[in-house]
Amino acid sequence: MSAKYSVDATKIKYKKTRRGVNATATIMKNGVAMCILYDVAEEIVATVDFKKAEDQVEFLADANKIRISEYARKLVMDAEQAWAHANKDYMSNVVKTN
The per-residue pLDDT for 40 is: 94
Residues whose CB falls within 8 Å of the CB of residue 51, separated by 6 or more in sequence, listed in order: 33, 34, 35
Q: Output the pTM of the full model.
A: 0.77
The per-residue pLDDT for 1 is: 47
Q: How far is residue 37 from each of residues 29, 30, 46, 54, measured CA to CA in Å?
A: 14, 17, 7, 17
Identify any residues that bridge with 36 across adjacent strands, giving them in sequence order.
26, 49
pLDDT tens string, the chain, 98 residues long: the values are 456 899 999 999 999 999 899 999 999 999 899 999 999 988 988 999 999 999 999 999 888 878 889 999 999 999 999 988 888 776 566 555 54
CB neighbour burial string for 45-82, b if at least 16 within 10 angstroms, e if fewer = ebebebeeeebbebbbeebeeeebbebbbebbeebeee
DSSP string, 34-73: EEEEEE-TT-SS-EEEESSHHHHHHHHHHH-SS-HHHHHH
